[in-house]
Each structure stands twice: as C-alpha cells, then as structure tokens.
Amino acid sequence: MSCWAVVVAAGRGERAGLGHNKVFEPVRGRTVLARCLDAFTRSGRFDGVALVLSEQEIPAFEALRGREGPFPIVRKIVPGGASRRDSVYHGLLALPEDTQLVAIHDAARPFLTDDVIDATLKSAAQFGSGVISTPVTDTIKQVLPDGSVTTPDRSALRAVQTPQAFRYDMILKAHRSAQADAFSATDDAMLFEHYYGGVKLVTAPGAQENIKLTTRADFEALAARGPADLRIGHGYDAHRLKAGRRLVLCGVEVPHDRGLDGHSDADVAVHALMDALLGALGLGDIGGHFPDSDPAYAGIDSMKLLRAVMDEVNAAGYRVGNADITIVAQKPKLAPFIPRMKQNIAGALGVSPDRVNVKATTTERMGFEGEETGISSQAVALLTRGPAN
C-alpha cells in the first residue's frame, strides 16, 4: 500500500523562545527534526516523507542533512504556509497521486514510536482515519461565553496528538473544502470530523512519551532528565599484512604497498567497531554473526556488515551515543584519511561526525604492528536507549 508521511516543520516556535525554529534544537544530542525523521525511517512503512519547511529554512535543513542525515526518507521538501493547516495542505498537494495512506505529523513531537505509527496506519487503512490519543489526567473546565464554568466528564475526554493518519483521497478533499470554506482547524482530525462526520481515535503504548515540545520549559525538562539506559561495548581485532591486498580502514582505501589479509575486505577498524556494538548489545561477536566459513562474506565490504549490525542496534531500540576507534599501525601515515574515515563511520552509525573519533598510533616499532607484520584496532561504543535519549 502506497504510504507517505507529511511532516510539518514550518512554524516559528515562538513559544519555545529559543531564537530559532524549535525543530532545529538539539535534544540530548540530536535535533528534534532529525529524531522525527529517524522515526519515519525506522518504521519501514513509508515510501517517503514530504517535509514542510519555511522556504528560508531549506538551507538550514540541507546543512542538517550533512550533520545528522542524509535522511533519504525525505523525498520532497515543500514550502510551508501561514498557518499549520496551510502547511499540511501544501504537503498533501506534493504527494504522488497514487498515495493511499498519509500520516500527518508535527515535527515538534520527536519521540514517536513504531507502535504509535502502526496504530494510526492500521486504523486509517480500515476506517479511513486513525488519530493517536491519550486519556486526560487533568480535570478540564469549559468556560462559556457568559463566563460561567462547567466540568465535562473527564472519562469521556481524550487528548489527541499527531501522527494522524488518513486515507489520502479523503483528507486531501477535506483540506480542499476547508480552503474553499475558510474553515480553520487546529488539527487535521477536526477537518475530517467536519466533512465526514467523525474520526477514529487509537491508542498505543508509546503515546505517553509522544510529547509535544512547545515551551522553553518542555526543552529544559528533557535536558534535566538523567540518562535512561546506557550500554558500553569494547572490540579488538588484528589482521596480517600481505602483498597484493588492498588496505581498507574505516571503509577508506589507503594507498600502501600491502593490505590486510582476511576473508572479507579485512577492515580491521570496522571489525573492532562491530565487536564493540555487538558487545554492548550482549550479542557475542562478528565471528558468530558473519562466519568466515560462509562464502557469502568472501571479499565483502565490511561497511555493509556494519550497517547490518546497526540494524540490530536499532531493532533493539538503541542508538549510538558515541564511538572511539584506535588503529595501531606503524605505517602508512593515516592522518590524511581520518576525516573521511570519521565521515564514513558516522554515516553508518546514523550520528553526527562529532560523535565519532578515529585515531591512529604506532607502537614505536614494538610488537607485530611495530614490525609491520599486521595492523590491529580497538574500539569502544556507547549505546543509549529511551525516548528522550
């Protein structure tokens, strides 16, 4: 089923008072917008995301792509409108005609989970709409025009969030009509109710964590939270140097008279890093995951294996906090290649390059590295888990 998301990020974030659009604010090391896009990528249910941005912030997003991206899920960038409703409408108009389902989401909610997304899509496929909601815990008062106050029955009240998923043809038609009728609405469910007489509410375990960041206090509260779940792993690997082989370290081919020998491309640094990641997850080592008796791994690019390990990290709900890799080699000089190595590793780990360190050392001619018999590498990686990590 053809399924898209419209992520609206074209507001000004005035109530957050950060001096810039709140979606570009880092929250515990990753921007609000990147976290949203991560969630749509992780879900695996979407053909693409139409990201709605103020025209003047498109360069800021391109810069973010370099730092935290590249976010291939974002297949359309759409200029926003004066109101949230206009921004959503612009996003909807940009989607392919054959789109069947669309999930509309506020970029200001960065902690959406797979179960939240799935609940809305499932309902939209079945009933035409699916709007994530939670029970209300505060007692709500309604103030009437004459100033008198009434108390609606709390058990009948629900707070609604985004994502809100709909059949694409239906919500597009509702938005078209709303434009023509100048009907303003604070969310898309309200339009759907108005034109189709009702909407389906759904709930999911992750809905409690799917908070909207509105005020400065919302950001401060997140910053003040202690670390939720941290895991550390260590990895070590060594390979022999051999004539006639390529020398590949952190996915970068380094010119040298010899290369590392092994079943794969023998990228010793990536192997150490993978062992660190698997170690943090408590999942053994690369030998167990990618046995060198398996011909499928003959000559394989170790970066591919690293991406497979990252799939396991993500499947377990973790993301990388940081990683530090040491390459022990007498020769060749590696310093000129380190920026590209960092870039490669950061891309595969899905983090900004400032969360990856790659360093090289010699052993002053001692041991097998010093005698140039081989090259070794060690790595540590920290994994974090939790909605606000």
Only segment of 3-11, 240-248, 299-307, 309-317 that touches Mg ion (CB under 5 A) = 3-11
Decide: helix, strand or coil at residue 241.
strand
Site string for ligand CTP, 208-237 (x = CB under 6 A): ------x-----------------------
Site string for ligand CTP, 316-345 (x = CB under 6 A): ------------------------------
Smallest gap from residue 11 Cβ to Mg ion (A): 5
Of the residues 27, 39, 52, 112, which one makes contact with ligand CTP according to CB under 6 A: 52
Of the residues 3, 5, 6, 9, which one makes contact with ligand CTP according to CB under 6 A: 9
Cβ proximity to ligand CTP: between 74 and 328 the closer is 74
The residue with its CB nearest to Mg ion is 11
Cβ proximity to ligand CTP: between 104 and 313 the closer is 104
The answer to whether 8 contacts ligand CTP (rule: CB under 6 A) is yes
Q: Quote the Cα angle for 276-280-284, to 5°.
A: 75
Q: How far apart are CA 302 and CA 299, in angstroms?
A: 9
The answer to whether 314 contacts ligand CTP (rule: CB under 6 A) is no
Q: How far apart are CA 222 and CA 211, in angstroms?
A: 11
Smallest gap from residue 166 Cβ to ligand CTP (A): 17
The answer to whether 110 contacts ligand CTP (rule: CB under 6 A) is no
Instruction: Kindly report the number of other CB atoms within 10 A of residue 131's CB atom.
Output: 28
Of the residues 7, 11, 22, 319, which one makes contact with Mg ion according to CB under 5 A: 11
Q: How far apart are CA 48 and CA 125, in angstroms?
A: 17
The answer to whether 161 contacts ligand CTP (rule: CB under 6 A) is no
Interacting positions 70-99 with ligand CTP (CB under 6 A): 80-84, 87
Q: How far apart are CA 218 and CA 4, in angstroms?
A: 29
Contact (Cβ atoms closer than 8 angstroms) between residue 40 and residue 48: no
Q: What is the DSSP secondary-structure string of 350-370?
A: TS-GGGEEEEEE--TT-HHHH
- Partner whose footprint covers residue 80, from Mg ion, ligand CTP, none (CB < 5 to 8 Å by kind): ligand CTP
Place of tokens 């070794």: 376
Nearest to 117 by CA among 2, 213, 207, 9: 207
Nearest to 368 by CA among 237, 233, 235, 234: 237
